[in-house]
Amino acid sequence: MNESINFSLISSEIFLLIAICVIMIVDLFQRDKERKLTFTLTQLTLFILFFLGYNEIDSQRSIGFYGHWVSDQLSFVLKMAIYATTFIALLYARPFISHRNLMRGEYYLLTLFSVLGMMIMVSANSFLLVYLGLELLSLSLYALVALQRDSKLASESAVKYFVMGGLASGFLLYGISLIYGATGSIIIADITRHYAENEMGLIGQFGLVFIVIGVAFKFGAVPFHMWLPDIYHGSPSSISAYIASVPKIAAFGMSIRILVEAFGQSISEWSTLIIIVAFCSIILGNLVAVVQQNLKRMLAYSAIAHIGYFLLGLVPGTAASYSASMFYIVVYALMTLAGFGIVIFMSSNEKDYQSISDLQGLGRFYPWYGYMFAIVMISMAGIPPFIGFWPKLEIFRVLIVNGFVTEAVIAIAFSIVGLYYYLRVIKEIFFTDATESPIITSSRSLKIAVSINCLLLIVFGFMPDSIYQYCLSAFGISI
């Protein structure tokens, strides 16, 4: 284990930072209002990063920069998922922002800065780097939400996001400071060693509680969810799609680094907190989503419920359960992108179709895209053979295998509740009479992107191991 300064461990991060500087300079000299070259360079950067990550996926675990940085299977797989989902999110974003008063060059640059923050989060081996990566991600997202300057709703959402994000960061930082006071280190390996040899005292327990609250805030889990529906609703749809999907993957990596690697010996101390937060999220998310009329707010409360299912996977504390949670969060990101992709597809220059009732006529006048949206809803509901079924099944399986039968039964029961609001959307698309056709002016590239994204939910549904095997390998399980 080499703990010296080894720049090869951060080669992808260095490449991304150089690419950001180049794209920033190129964008300054762009006269094209569409910023086509900036978009192309951004997507090319993500493609190259994915290729670099794929070549390194079988590399051995390495720790560098005096214990602050780790390169392992988990970081490589999560980074590849981040690159792929960001690539899809930007495909949706380009036609959406081209007809709106959004600063297009800054949009792509802020997205890349947020990707850099997420890369740091999933490779952090100390609380210092976790916090730095989280703040780089958060500051980029605050600015993205506020990009639509002429929208009062977007400005309000940005302020809410900033205040609640700052509060979450404060909880996390205070928890980190207490853990540092108790252990004398911010290196995750040192904290693990300390609590393997010593009992967790009152200061450590308080620190752990504050850290769990900070993590729950970032996920938008109940009772720290109050910001999430307003942000999803108020942000431009392309930014909502990005916030709802990609950062969740990085937040999973942060959870594993903090809760599992640093406090793995103290799982009994935090698993009860996670169970409470998970069930509150599942119950409230599903019940409140039932009464929502706005599609983006329905997806927001649906996201809260999905976060609850994902968090349940952390409770058993086994490599298989962590793999199931990782599988769930990656698939959820893909499904959420498809869901918001349909919302973006329905948005025209004159009107954004955001109400569930606005979907009336989609199945009659645009049957192909009606079927695509139905695929997304059925997959998010967890109905086979679509991909959304398999990670939920794995979560329930690991709960039952590890003796959490009651928890699994309650989660399954509220999964059935979730069927109602997903199937209600399909009812509006196909079974509600509509005399007028929705006005849809989406570009050909967006139509292709939506179709591919939705069809992938079917393809991966028939071969879920194509994703799951990487999640298993990230935790040292071979299939």
CA distance 159 to 164: 9
pLDDT of residue 49: 93
If DSSP codes are grouped into helix, strand and coil, which group holds residue 323?
A: helix
Domain annotation covers residue 17:
yes
Domain annotation covers residue 2:
no
Domain annotation covers residue 436:
yes
H or E element in which residue 205 lies: helix 202-219
Neighbours of 100 (CB within 10 A): 17
Domain annotation covers residue 3:
no
In this structure, what are the phi and psi dihedrals at residue 59, rounded to the nearest 5 degrees? -70, 155
If DSSP codes are grouped into helix, strand and coil, which group holds residue 294?
A: strand
Give Cα 172 distance to the centre of its chain. 19
DSSP 139-181: HHHHHHHTT-TT-HHHHHHHHHHHHHHHHHHHHHHHHHHHHHH
DSSP E strands in 265-372: the ranges are none
DSSP 458-475: HHHHH-THHHHHHHHHHT
455: containing domain: 9-474
* Contact criterion met (CB below 8 Å) for 126 and 68: yes
Question: What DSSP designation does 10 have?
Answer: G
Domain annotation covers residue 4:
no
Joined tokens for residue 24: 């920033």
* Contact criterion met (CB below 8 Å) for 254 and 321: no
Domain annotation covers residue 455:
yes
DSSP 347-391: --SS----BGGGGTTHHHHSHHHHHHHHHHHHHHHT-TTSTTHHH
* Contact criterion met (CB below 8 Å) for 278 and 399: no
In this structure, what are the phi and psi dihedrals at residue 294, rounded to the nearest 5 degrees? -90, 130
Domain count, the chain: 1
* Contact criterion met (CB below 8 Å) for 251 and 215: yes
In this prediction, the residues of the chain whose per-residue pLDDT falls under 70 are: 1-4, 32-34, 101, 103, 348-353, 434-442, 478-479
Give Cα 211 distance to the centre of its chain. 19
- What are the percentages of helix, strand and coil residues in the chain, rounded to 5? 75, 0, 20
Q: Enter the pTM of the model.
A: 0.91
CA distance 349 to 460: 33
pLDDT of residue 1: 45
Domain annotation covers residue 1:
no
Domain annotation covers residue 373:
yes
- Residue type for position 62: S
Q: pLDDT tens digit string along 111-123? A: 999 999 999 999 9
